[in-house]
Structure 1
Amino acid sequence: MPRKVNYGLDYEEDYEVYDEYDDYYYDQEEVQPHQPAKSHNKKKANIWRCPICTYDNDESLSYCDICGVIRDASLTVNDKEKENGSLRKAEVSMLAKSLFSSSPPVSGKLKSEPSTLNGNNIQVIKETKSHPGDLTKVVLASGGASHGDTAPFKFDSPSPDDIVFAGKNASKVNPRARAQSSAAKDANSAENLETSARLTLKDPQSEVGGSGQRAEEGSTSLSSKLSGLGLGQTLEGAHKREYKPEEWMLSDKEGALTQLNLAIVGHVDSGKSTISGRLLHQLGRISRKEMHKYEKESREKGKASFAYAWALDESSEERERGVTMTVGVAHVDSGRHHMVLLDSPGHRDLVPNLIMGAAQADVAVLVIDGAPGAFEAGMEGGGQTREHAQLVRSFGVDQMVVVVNKMDLVGYAQERFCTIKAHLAQFLRSCGFKEASITWVPLSSMENQNLIEPPSDPRICSWYKGPSLLEAIDALQPPLRDIAKPLRMPICDVIKSRGQGQVSASGKLEAGAMRDGTKVLVMPSGELATVRSMERDSRPCHVARAGDNVAVVLQGIDMSAVMSGGVLCHIDFPVQVAAALELKILMLDVATPILVGAEVEFHIHHAREVARVTKIVSVVDPKTGKAAKKVARFLSSKQSAVIEVALTGAVCVEEFSKCRALGRVFLRSSGNTIAVGIVIKVLEL
């Protein structure tokens, strides 16, 4: 039996003292040929002593029975090497040997590729599992496996210890890394492979691991394997890979009603809420019992004419003031569409609420007050008819139904309708609407004329032969949905339930799809969450696609990380978050020119921030679309320009070419919308 010799220090209890020693002294034992060796260093027959723990091991063992250090069986020195001051075989440090010798054996399922490290007699076995993030396993070659002389250790190349510590550090994964894309992980793994491949071979004649293959062949095979992984692609290129939607995202029920998000806009007191209430009541969304309740309550408050408006104006403040203050949302089915009515406020002080709510619109209904002087008030002197039409067009809406309401107050006069149509049509064309995409409908919401059914009053039947309001809405075509793109859902509203530990985010899916159990990334907080359930029109749904307005219940996330103005997005394709942007804008009617350094109110989807104009890049010629050579010092009405803005807080944003809904912006100042535009570039501060 081998015996253990102790020289006064228990190395099992105080092993850490060897951390201060240089590895070089374990690799090389200087032999003095002219001095006789001391008696206590003589090795006995059939026993070799471990240089680490000094344990005497049996000659048949190739590693230490106590600490596992590989036996150094070739520490012999010839005369020629003594003169050169080098050893016959430059071994690696015992620290690396002990670490590598304790590594588990490579599984037979893993393909390995041998190589060498600058003549240091090290065999590198690289796992080629498809799972990204697998670490490189480096295994020392056996001492007697190499044939021929080996060059001494080269200190200009990574040592085995460097590879060990790098592997240990790489194994520590940050929990935030779960949100990274699988392509990024592949690229990182490939970079590790490329690093190993850069370690060139110094002695092509040496064989590694006794396998009979030359090291040059191993290096060539490893290089071919690296090229197969596409190491030429950068990490940025990996993020730009094409998104492929799953099959369940594209499939849909045939014959189902198409969803249409309908924004009802117009000047204050033009009858928007009353028209919405009439549609909900006559299409069966509001029962007779509920309608009778609204009529009774409105009469008690002395506002009997607001009975139908109270179907959407539910807050006490809205009913007291008789003004819609927030965007009311209601769902109703027509003959062709599942309509989402977005009843927008008309007061000029509430335009920011209109922008944040009606930005979800696919089409619009512009309500005009046909009463004497009311239309003129909406078009001039700060009226909201002009501003609402410009905003709706900047939302991306290109189809519109223009409703001339309160025709009963002018006796359903055709002349009044034609005057309004001629005046307004010219303005709408200047906003970018085409005549073929505009439908004109005269009606009376109070007398229920021409809303659902054709008019029955002979005063209007005698000259109007067009469609009713519902028929005009059914004729509208929903826009194409970006279902095949990564998930994008701007958050319009947030409801927090602290008792259940859940948070609900509502909004419209602008791109992609999701279902119950889907992992989503909540930006700009960057937190992961799981979709617990979804509701559409207060009814449970299991799948939501682009264009749907849903309320999503999230779990596994801090409530403070979900906020209005944020975006739910795909975990591998996150939305950009930026505080500096380059915009292409169109100036509206402004009284004061815009200068560099001016502060404006910046709106994008449901987010709002204070911004400062940092640079006027160029003024764009509206006819040619090219930038003018002369640099502008200020911007005035009707000018198109490219500017740079800096925001006080970061917002979720995409370039307009990538996602239109997240690339439209609105600039306001002093209670007026001064410019509309798009994001053409995301800048870095």
Structure 2
Amino acid sequence: MTEGDPREHLNLVFIGHVDAGKSTLSGNILYLTDNVDKRTIERYEKEAKERNRESWFLAFIMDTNEEERAKGKTVEVGKAQFETDLKRYTILDAPGHKNYVPNMIQGASQADVGVLVISARKGEFETGFDRGGQTREHAMLAKTLGVSYLVVAVNKMDEPTVQWKKERFDECVTKIRPFLKSCGFVIKREVKFIPISGLSGANVKDEVALSECSWWKEYYTSNENNTSAPTLLSLLDTLEIAGRDPEAPLRIPVLDRYTDRGIISMGKVESGIIRPGMKVTIMPTRNKYKVDEVWANEDPVSGARPGENVLVKLNGAKMEDVRKGFVICTDPPCRAVDKIICQIAVADMPDNTPIMTAGFQCMFHAHTTEEECTVAKIFETTNAKGVVVKGARYVGVGMRAIVMLDLAQTVPLETYEHMAFMGRFTLRTEGKTVAIGKITKLPPKRD
């Protein structure tokens, strides 16, 4: 039994508009890191040709179910692993189509780094950004769901309308920066920009040839846009994830569970260490179990640290005892509450209700949980100019507010200050992300 691989593990989520080339890029990464053999690729190439989608064969590696291949869109969050000499990675290939945003939330809630893939092709970049485009919503979700870094991969640089022109890359970067800033990213610290071709593999594992692109070497050696690595993989290797505390109490939000000679729960270790033999408490039910076995990336391990995607077998648990959104804890366990006081930033509202008032209902998404909620009370609002209104009657788009939310059932949560990954959330309704927020206060403990 191993303690697990000593190399740090990162979850990557690829996000962006539906045709920006996320699946093709992730498929090519797997191919370039020798995780898919040539024969499989040839099979996919042939299949893609038969469906008249020749340039899609790399995407087929990630899109494994029939519905996706026929449509050429990624629906479930696909999972695939690769490694470099320094780190291990799991790609969560998130869907980019409008109707699939809830899937994207599930994927991103486990992600450490977001790779925002945008297309440099004339017209495509612009479509991803207009009001109905996916790029906006995804970048915002990535921020709320807690990715530590966002790598903006400007894809399709080898396209005939682009031809690795520096002007087009700069144009895309200039347009996207203010928008990412408005999502709450600290550009200088958390965002990196890199030009790539997901199809040819240029700047993915190996640097683009000087003959194709003369300006890139000078660009990254002078650390322009705080990006000093030549390729996407070398850039990922340089990212340091803060706040992973193996000493803290254990927290594993459950993403799913299934039966295999006992109940196996899936999730990512957010804090603490899980080991076979230890006693854990499941929140919100407070049931206690002994951990029988732990697997990290399908291998049995004697311990798993923060950042690992794990499977956990709990002794004596039944299917109804463990659900998506429950949290596996060691003492002191997290709180389970049905009311929270929080700060929210309203980003968008449904067409028929342009403002948020007390009584507004929507879905509350935090870590792996989702629950119906109601805005119970608005304490104060702050508009874009910084004007504060105490006891305000409504919150409009672009405003920040302190509100109380009532949740339909108790949900395992913490304040953002205490454990950030258990204290941030999004509010969604009618297919839109209406607000992002963080929990500032929980009701007093009842003993």
TM-score, normalising length: structure 1? 0.60
Deviates more, 1:273-282 or 1:389-398: 389-398
Q: Is the 8 A contact 2:384 2:398 kept in 1?
A: no
| Number of aligned residue pairs | 428
Aligned to 2:388, the other structure's residue is in SS state: coil
Aligned to 1:448: 201
For residues 348 and 316 of structure 2, what CA distance do their matches in structure 1 show? 48
Matches within 5 A, 1:260-409: 260-409=10-159
User: Is 1:426–2:178 an aligned residue pair?
Assistant: yes
How far is 1:463 from its partner? 5.0
Cα distance change, pair 563–401 in 1 and its aligned pair in 2 (3 A): same
Whole-Å Cα distance in 1 between the matches of residues 214 and 256 of structure 2? 44
- Contact kept, 8 Å, 1:583 with 1:677, in 2: the verdict is yes
User: Which residue in 2 is equivalent to 1:155?
Assistant: none
The alignment partner of 1:657 has SS state of coil
Q: Structure 2: how far apart are the matches of 1:537 and 1:270?
A: 29
Q: Does the 8 Å contact 1:508/1:546 carry over to 2?
A: yes
Higher relative contact order (CA 8 A, sep 6+): 2
Structure 1 residue 663 displacement after superposition: 0.6
Residue 192 of structure 2 corresponds to residue 439 of structure 1: yes
Q: Give the distance between the partners of 2:403 and 2:437, measured in 1 at CA.
A: 10
Distance 1:629 1:305 in 2: 54
Quick one: structure 1 residues 623 and 337, their matched pair in 2 at CA, closer, same or farther if it must change by over 3 Å?
farther
- Distance in 2, Cα, partners of 1:304 & 1:538: 33
The 2-side partners of 1:328 and 1:404 are apart by 22
Q: 1:622 to 1:397 in 2, by over 3 A?
A: farther
TM alignment of 1:228-627, pairs within 5 A: 256-409=6-159, 410-437=162-189, 438-456=191-209, 458-462=211-215, 465=218, 466=220, 467-497=230-260, 500=261, 502-570=262-330, 572-590=331-349, 592-620=354-382
Q: Give the equivalent residue in structure 2 for 1:161.
A: none
Once residues 253 and 51 of structure 2 are traced to their aligned partners in structure 1, the CA distance between those partners, rounded to angstroms, is 38
The answer to whether the 8 Å contact 1:610/1:647 transfers is yes
Shift of 1:611: 0.9
TM superposition score normalised by structure 2: 0.90
Q: Percent identity?
A: 35
1:553-582 alpha-carbon deviations (Å, 9 max, x no partner): 222112211111111111x32221111111
Report if aligned partners of 2:257, 2:263 keep a CA contact under 8 Å in 1: yes
Does the residue aligned with 1:262 lie in a helix, a strand or coil?
Answer: strand
Distance in 1, Cα, partners of 2:416 & 2:314: 28
Displacement, 1:629? 5.0
Deviation string 1:349-389 (CA, Å, 9 cap, x unpaired) is: 21111112211222221100111111111111211111111
Is the 2:254–2:267 Cα contact (8 Å) retained in structure 1? Answer: yes
Give the Cα–Cα distance (whole angstroms) in 2 for the partners of residues 397 and 268 of structure 1: 20
Q: CA deviation at 1:484?
A: 1.3
Indicate the residue corresponding to 2:226 in structure 1.
none
* Counterparts in 2 of 1:583 and 1:302: CA distance versus 1, 3 Å: same
Give the distance between the partners of 1:542 and 1:457, measured in 2 at CA.
47
Give the superposed CA RMSD: 2.2
State the match for 1:46 in structure 2: none
Structure 1 stretches lacking a partner, 5+ long: 1-251
1:49-128 alignment runs, 5 A limit: none
What residue is the counterpart of 2:442 in the other structure?
Answer: 682
Give the aligned residue type for 1:665: F
Q: Which residue of 2 aligns with 1:639?
A: 399
Structure 2: any 5+ residue segments left out of the alignment?
221-229
Q: Which amino acid aligns with 1:645?
A: L
Residue deviations 1:588-608 (CA, integer Å, cap 9, x gap): 133511111111111111111
Tell me the SS of whatever aligns to 1:504. Answer: strand
Shift of 1:299: 2.7
C-alpha contact (below 8 Å) 1:528/1:557 kept by paired residues:
no
Question: Is the alpha carbon distance of 1:521 and 1:630 closer, same or farther for their aligned partners in structure 2, counting shifts above 3 Å?
Answer: closer
Whole-Å separation in 1 of the counterparts to 2:299 and 2:51: 33
Residue type of the alignment partner of 1:417: F
What's the CA shift for 1:622?
6.8
Measured in 2, the distance between the counterparts of 1:462 and 1:422 equals 17
Cα deviation 1:213-268 (Å, max 9, x = unaligned): xxxxxxxxxxxxxxxxxxxxxxxxxxxxxxxxxxxxxxx89x93111222211111
Separation in 2, partners of 1:562, 1:266: 32
Q: Secondary structure at the match of 1:447?
A: coil
Counterpart contact for 1:587–1:635, Cα < 8 Å: yes
Q: Deviations over 1:529-552 (max 9, x none)?
A: 222222222222120111211111
Larger of the two Rg values belongs to structure = 1
Q: CA deviation at 1:404?
A: 0.7
